[in-house]
């Protein structure tokens, strides 16, 4: 299974240069040419999305394929531009005070390869909020390349926990963050370690999700915050979230199973409403 999707540093730097010189519209229209290349040649992505839309009961057409790719390109560009110039974006949210209170006291944030997930730090860049993102090596390299372009290092609320340093170092970093009442963010729709893969029904077929944040939440009695950052319009995003508290009166495996089924149900509902914004471009239901 190949799950790696990364927009290379040269493309990001070129688009950001366009943005600084010619404005956002130059980036927006340049993406049509970038997307056209993948539309024509990314046969593996086309195959994976065709199965995804079949699961949703939606007819897969060239128009849908192009628009899905364009949404990915747009949200990826916005990830970096919004980091540099958040004031150029509109971020919509409900019950933000309640959400911030949980995040300030340390929570397990479960994000997804959905919509503008990488712009989420703009919602939390306020006083006393610290979020530690458990991240793979490719994403770290991408972030560092862009920070070098901006000539600034980690000036927002987000810190990185690098899983390439090993499971012990990762576990210690996560534990220390939670002890300091800092939040830790994971991707729920992709486990970075096979031992945390958890099989559940997803659109009437078995698929694998990340058990790790739910396991940690049970052991630490911290809440799970499931986040969805929805692309609503050009430079406009909305954040929706669901709070899940694991039931400590139940055995660990039972409580985790119940919580993860709640998470998968929330993901299923959001994909039915916004099918064009899920960016796992591989066969998510691939048999192990």
Instruction: List C-alpha distances in Å: 261 to 103, 156, 198.
Output: 22, 33, 11
In a domain, 158, yes or no: yes
Distance, in Å, from the CA atom of 126 to the CA atom of 120, rounded to the nearest integer, reads 12
Tokens of 33: 């040419």
In a domain, 288, yes or no: no
In a domain, 287, yes or no: no
pLDDT, tens digit (0-9, with 9 covering 90-100), for 171-180: 999 999 999 9
In a domain, 3, yes or no: no
Q: How many structural domains compose the chain?
A: 1
In a domain, 283, yes or no: no
Asked if 124 and 100 touch (Cβ cutoff 8 Å), the reply is: yes
Distance, in Å, from the CA atom of 229 to the CA atom of 239, rounded to the nearest integer, reads 5
Instruction: List C-alpha distances in Å: 201 to 154, 239, 246, 274.
Output: 38, 26, 20, 20
Q: Are strands 236-244 and 224-233 parallel, antiparallel or unpaired?
A: antiparallel
Largest CA distance in the chain: 58
Quick one: pLDDT at residue 1? 40
pLDDT, tens digit (0-9, with 9 covering 90-100), for 95-118: 888 999 999 999 999 999 999 998
Asked if 79 and 118 touch (Cβ cutoff 8 Å), the reply is: yes
Asked if 186 and 60 touch (Cβ cutoff 8 Å), the reply is: no
In a domain, 194, yes or no: yes
Quick one: pLDDT at residue 241? 96
Per-residue pLDDT of the chain (288 residues; tens, 9 = 90+): 444 445 556 677 788 888 889 999 999 999 999 999 999 999 999 999 999 999 999 999 999 999 999 999 999 899 888 888 888 899 998 888 899 999 999 999 999 999 999 888 888 877 778 999 998 765 656 666 665 555 554 456 888 898 888 888 999 999 999 999 999 999 999 988 889 999 999 999 999 999 999 999 999 999 999 999 999 999 999 999 999 999 999 999 999 999 999 999 999 999 999 999 999 999 999 876
What is the residue range of 175's domain? 9-277
What is the rounded (10 degree) CA torsion for 121, 103, 92, 271?
Answer: 90
The pTM is what? 0.91
SS3 of residue 134 by DSSP: strand
């Amino acid at each position: 299974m190949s799950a790696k999707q990364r927009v290379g540093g040269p493309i990001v730097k070129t688009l950001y240069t366009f943005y600084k010189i010619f404005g956002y519209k130059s980036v927006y229209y340049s993406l049509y040419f970038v997307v056209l290349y993948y539309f024509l040649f990314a046969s593996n992505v086309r195959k994976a999305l065709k199965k995804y839309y079949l699961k949703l009961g939606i007819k897969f057409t060239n128009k849908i394929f192009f628009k899905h790719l364009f949404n990915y390109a747009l949200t990826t560009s916005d990830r970096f531009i919004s980091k540099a110039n958040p004031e150029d974006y509109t971020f919509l949210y409900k019950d933000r005070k309640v959400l911030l209170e949980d995040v300030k006291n340390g929570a397990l944030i479960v994000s997804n390869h959905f919509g503008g997930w990488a712009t989420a730090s703009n919602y939390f860049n306020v006083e006393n909020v610290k979020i530690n993102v458990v991240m793979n090596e490719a994403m770290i390299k991408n972030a560092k390349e862009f920070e070098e372009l901006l000539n600034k290092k980690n000036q927002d609320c987000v810190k990185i926990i690098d899983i390439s340093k090993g499971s012990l170092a990762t576990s210690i970093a996560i534990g220390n963050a939670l002890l300091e009442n800092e939040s830790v963010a994971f991707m729920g729709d992709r486990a970075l370690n096979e031992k945390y893969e958890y099989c559940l029904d997803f659109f009437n077929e078995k698929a694998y999700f990340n058990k790790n944040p739910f396991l940690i939440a049970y052991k630490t009695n911290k809440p799970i915050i499931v986040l969805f950052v929805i692309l609503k319009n050009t430079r406009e995003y909305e954040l929706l979230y669901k709070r899940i508290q694991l039931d400590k009166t139940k055995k660990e495996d039972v409580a985790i199973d119940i919580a993860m089924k709640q998470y998968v149900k929330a993901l299923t509902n959001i994909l039915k409403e916004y099918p064009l914004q899920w960016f796992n471009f591989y066969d998510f239901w691939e048999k192990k």
